Structure 1
Amino acid sequence: MLSKSESNSVLTSSKSEKPKAVVLFSGGLDSTTCLYQAIADGYHPTALSFDYEQKHKIELRSAKRIAKNLGIPHLIQKLQPKFFLGSSLTEKKLKVPKNSLGKTGIPNTYVPGRNILFLSFGVSLAEGIQAKRLYIGVNALDYSGYPDCRPEFLKAYADAVRLGTKAGAEGHPLEICAPLQHLGKKEIVLLGSKLGVPFSMTHSCYDPIGGKPCGRCDSCLLRKKGFQEAGIPEK
């Protein structure tokens, strides 16, 4: 459920002369770069985050700060954690893998159906506020091998949205935009630097300890790799 103030914030955004977009926004490196790309593309974005009692829930604090700094509408959709079983990001009994980057197979940090559900919320919001685009910061190069980050998945999902929405039926379907899809972490860091992304405000760790990045999970290692290869100090 959205609060009254959040709903009013979205309605207020309709006064902007710029075309509207919805950006799925975790507060991490990729989604923040994606958000800044949406702004650079000339859109007035509404950021949509999700609270599903993830172990790295601290990322929502980063998302709030970044959205507030940009002065854009920011909605946080609360989901029951029982929707996402079988993942080490949501179940206490499962341990987040450490120092396992590059191993074959889909890691247990995969959250079943997460992007499908997040995109569906995004589509509903986007169509409701007559947004032109829905941005998602997925990446299919330097990533953990999640099937819901692959180009073929996004293409199939976009086809479903075109067929299953009023906007699509009337000939002006919502565009699913994944600007980071074919970029490695180095290129994402370089793009973020060019766009002015406040890297120090972003959070990437899957298993923070006392609010600090663990430094050993896939997400931490990929982030470190990106900054090192880009020649930019990690922040």
Structure 2
Amino acid sequence: MRTTGGLAAIIAATLLLTACGSSSEPAAVEPDTVTSAPAEEPAATEVEPLPFNASGYLGGTAQPNLDAGEPDEVSVVQIGPLDSASGTLIFAFRNNTSESISHVDWTATARSGGSIAATGSSQGTTPAQLQPGEAGLSYIYFDNADAIPADAEYEFQVSTSAADTSPYNTAPLTVTEANVSGDSIVGGATNETGAETTGPYSVEVYCFEGDTLLSSMITFAEQTDEIPDGGTVTFSANLFGDSCPTFVLGVSGYFA
């Protein structure tokens, strides 16, 4: 009986040790629970706003001070009056991205009381290419501008391309002369892009009173064909008696 009891005790002890994990393999350890911090939004690109006409492409007498705009965006910084007769809404914008841009194309929606009253799109910008921090001017053409109420609010969207001299990219010419002659502004512009350009060459005039946009008009240069680097175009822009205390003017075509 003693022998049997001793054997039982040994078996029990062996079972106890086995249950306590006396195996040579290490016991599994539960990993600590790690909570990842939410990913941080990339910091907005810091672009210093440049003085108006920093590129030197434009001519004229206006030197408006325009708002800085939204960081890391191409954004509207001033909206001028709607000209229901011509169907145009003029505005200023700034390139606060880190890249030079061209082919800047805008669309806009006019809303009143939460409903869409009209939609439209731009037809060029001045200047045709903008470096980081530079301000530009443009206008939206609305087919039914006379249906837009005075209390309308405007929403803008923009698309851009890289600024280079690839064929059909927008090409800024440098205005070398712009003089008031009667009711017109006459002058010339030179192709200083380093590449051949082609027309039509648009001539866009924007009138200011101080820092405020008043009106605009568009015409075309006399020349329409290819212009080599160093070549020139001439123009005459009739203001038709509109008040234009100060003005800025840009000329642009396309790379050939």
TM tier, shorter chain? Answer: under 0.3
Which has a greater percent of strand?
2
Between 1 and 2, higher relative CO (CA 8 Å, sep ≥ 6) is seen in 1
Greater Rg over alpha carbons, structure: 2
Whose helix fraction is larger, Structure 1's or Structure 2's?
A: 1
> TM-score, with normalisation over the residues of structure 2?
0.24
**Structure 1 length as normaliser, TM-score?**
0.26
